[in-house]
Chain A
Amino acid sequence: MRKTSKRLALALALTLPLSLAACAGQDEPDSGSTAPALAADDPLGDASGTLTPQNPTTLSVWLTTSQQVPAPDNKITQLLKDKLGVTLEYEIVTPDNVDQKIGVMLAGGEYPDLIGTTDLKMRLLEGGALLRLDDMLDSGDYENLATHVDGYRGKMSYTGGEVDDGLYIFPNYNRVYGEVTGGTHYGTAFWIQKRVLEDAGWPDITNMTLDKYFGMIEDYAAKNPETDGQKTIGFELLTSVGYEWGMTNPPAFLSGHPNNGGVIVDDNDKATIYANTDVAKEWYTKLNEEYNKGIVDPESFTLTHDQYNAKIATGAVLGMHDQGWNFQTSTQSLQAAGQDSYTYVPLMPVYEGAEPYYADRDVMNTNQGFGISSTTDKSEQAMRFLDTMLSEPWQKVLSWGIEGEDYEVGDDGMFYRTEQQRTNGKDLTWRSSNRLDALLDVLPKHNGQFTDGNAYSPDDQPDEFYATLSDYDKTVMEAYDKQTWRQFVNTPPENAVYYPAWSITLSDEANEVNQQIADTTVQNLPKAISGSVADFDANWQAYVDTFDQIDVKVYEDAINAGIQDRIKNWSE
């Protein structure tokens, strides 16, 4: 059982590909020019005078991201040098290698100046690699950062007791300013290809159930056994290592609970594991049935994450349970090929009597983001850099780009892009020379809206969103009388204080139990799903028996303690 929208971060990073840029500013866009003498009122300059082109600063940056390394000729890199005199030396570690890397770093005890971590086990923090930032923050010199933490300080602070309590990391996503305006649903859903709905004559998709969902897929697959010469795949199950939640999370959603990872939290804030309960059994029974009807892809269990995405990108897969951000690249490649009917609409099947709670309010990524290392002698510059990057002018440069090059400003002051600019934004090669995706992925962000009413990124801008919809997508929207994909899922209620439970940091013992639970599900459930219908009960029992050997109470207790801890510390 895994934390689910573990990297909503990634999701949002992936929205950036659609974005173009702008410095709110009025600076000459020619970033390649030699550094001009900076007026004190340059919106991209550092008014405090710490970071100036006359006094160059080199900062080493270590960060975890799956975003690409910027190209050497990157224009924002040049802009950083011209405006602030800052040169960044990156060391970028991909998430699948980070576990090993962190151990090595800690053992060495030498750290770069800035550390961008997404480690939910907080090993760098607890290992003493990070500097406690409260004193610097309280000096009042860092206005943007101070605003950023205002009202959320308890939530952003560390209270685990291994090192002094306090603020160490500025969260990278979803400290929301203003309103959330995006049109895309990046969260969880049972996705269905648009052509399936079209073929069924845009059926009613409210009050969705598993039977209805799989019914539509079965009908379509029977009528269209082949897609572009390939065998049509009814349902792809996501089970690859680290993404097991594709298979194990549905019981919570089907029974009307939001994404708390491996547990369902009841009204009294008590968390219980559901992997071995009846809500889970109902889901796996259905999967077993569908597998034997040939709807669930038999290759599901052996696909790596890349192969899974590649399969979706072929357009042959009619449906799957997944989080929107996770197959974003596949969606983009389908869109780029003009095959919008092969892209997906989010649906929310539930069990009898349950209310769908698939979509949640955007959750702040606590404990993930940038901190400053405990061994640096440039803490002041590093802090000033983070503060400057969080200013609105720089945030616009980072997420929209340069005005006139990457986006335009309408007469009403709203940002928009030309077709060429939109195309650029989807081009990964272009992005590596014109964006700092890797850095921005971990930097604290001005999610939501800027003070001038523009959305944080192009993808969140309502007009931009609608303008980038293809004609086919507009047809789908019209058929269901909706304006955004978000309207296809439930309107999220206010999140519970502790939400989400999957981001609770666990002790070593609890992590171990969590791993054992994940292994048990991954090793036993595929057998139950792919076995014959007659054997299902026996296979299920075998699974439950194995499961019962695990000391799950250790895990539940840890989660419950975490929930109580958050209720105590986060209720501000």
Chain B
Amino acid sequence: MAQTVIQQAPARVIPKNKKKKLKVLWSQRALLIMSVPLLLYAILFRYVPIYGWAIAFQDYKPGKRSIFTGQEWVGFDNFVKLFTGLMGERFIRAFINTIGQSLLTLVVSTIGAIILALMMNEVRSLIFKRIVQNITYMPHFLSWIIVTGMVSVALALPSSGGFINSLLMSLHIISEPVLFLSEPSYFWGVVAGSNLWKELGWNTILYMAAMTAISPDLYEAASIDGAGRYRKMWSITLPSIRPTIIILLIMNTGWIMSTNFEIPYFLGNGLVAETAETIDVFVLRYGYQLGNYSLAVVAGIFKTIVAIILVGLANFISGRLGEETLV
């Protein structure tokens, strides 16, 4: 009933285009009503919890009192603490590591997935294709604790089962075993490599799906024009899945700040801390484990803001380049 009133009463006074909009709204009322629960869900679970940010401005002690009553308000003290002094150096280092590890992972795994998808798209034997797909998906279902365990063995000395060292030595690429996990400059690579191994097959799924949607006519036409296999990949397949690639890249930029907890946490050690420690590990160490929840929330706020900026930026750039955008 309420809707009817809205529609009728002001209809006489408002300009025509507004009236038209309302009409559209009315005609889509069923859809709007259906979206209400989802909207409520988003508000309840994504926006309401933001009240917890109040903790960032308090000397928060859990247990005895609620967030709003009885906690001591300290203004921006926690922000000052996190971004300055010794703590600040650590945090900035963690920030750089987070961005660095994530970007490297993103680039390596995107390129890897596209290459694998292209290759599988060319495979004619369905059985072989299925086998390869299944093998490459498999690691996705392993938990990170298992994967990091495997990585640490694989990269160990030959005497501890480090087959990568054994392999490199038998190929005479190196003469002495390399301690991959105690050299800071390798750590980002270890992160990207582990991610590539684990997620390669999984990441190809969307690209493969996009490729099946490409019209066979295009390939036929190209063949008639004398294009070879590589030419077709380059001029037809890749441009056709470009929107998918762009959208996935934009969406993944949103995760840049929040991926990579497990590998630095499980494989990081004192020797490589300078390149291993990410924001999430830092927050766990100095926030949760020391019971300093306020500091953890400050770091969380910072992460959220940076993530929003990154996604916005990627979206904007993409739009400027005339590509797909999210909104």
Contact = CB atoms under 8 A, between A and B. Distances in A.
Given A127-B62, A239-B270, A522-B270, A530 B86 contact: no
Interface-centre pick from B271, B273, B285 (highest chain A CB count, 10 A): B271
A516 B290 CA distance: 11
A103 B289 CA distance: 9
B64 interface: yes
A299 B292 contact: no
Contacts of A523: 270-271, 273-274
Contacts of A527: 271
How big is chain B's contact interface, by range? Answer: 20 to 34
A121 B274 contact: no
A301 B152 CA distance: 12
B179 interface: yes
B63 A128 contact: yes
A483 interface: no
Contacts of B291: 99, 102-103, 121, 123, 508, 511
A527 B61 CA distance: 38
A230 B156 CA distance: 14
Interface-centre pick from B90, B181, B269 (highest chain A CB count, 10 A): B269
B143 interface: no
A231 B158 CA distance: 10
Nearest to B61: A127
Contacts of A524: 270
B286 interface: yes
A47 interface: no
Contacts of B273: 519, 522-523
B62 A515 contact: no
Interface string A190-231: 000000000000000000000000000000000000000011
Interface residues of A, number: 43
A32 interface: no
B159 interface: yes
B288 interface: yes
Given A230-B159, A527-B271, A99 B179 contact: no
Interface string B268-288: 011101100000000011101
A277 interface: no
A39 interface: no
A519 B286 CA distance: 11
B270 A307 contact: no
B293 interface: yes
A299 B271 contact: no
Interface string A127-171: 111000000000000000000000000000000000000000000
A302 B61 contact: no
Contact of A516 (B61, B86, B293): B86
A231 B285 contact: no
Contact of B179 (A102, A302, A522, A525): A302
Given A123-B291, A301-B269, A526-B271, A129 B182 contact: no
Interface in A484-535: 508, 511-512, 515-516, 519, 521-527, 530
Q: Tell me if A's interface is mostly helix, strand, loop or mixed.
A: helix
B86 A127 contact: no
B160 interface: yes
B182 A100 contact: no
Nearest to B59: A508
A442 to B, nearest CB: 21
A519 B63 CA distance: 29
A438 to B, nearest CB: 22
Given A301-B271, A302-B182, A508 B290 contact: yes
Interface string B184-212: 00000000000000000000000000000
A298 B182 CA distance: 9
Nearest to A128: B64
B164 interface: no
Contact of B152 (A307, A311, A516): A307
Interface in B36-95: 61-64, 86, 90
Contacts of B288: 99-100, 103
A301 B272 CA distance: 10
Given A103-B293, A304-B152, A519-B90, 8 more contacts: A100-B284, A123-B63, A299-B160, A301-B182, A302-B269, A512-B290, A523-B273, A525-B270
9 contacts: A99-B289, A127-B63, A241-B269, A299-B157, A299-B179, A508-B291, A523-B273, A525-B270, A526-B269
Interface of B: 61-64, 86, 90, 152, 156-157, 159-160, 179, 181-182, 266, 269-271, 273-274, 284-286, 288-293
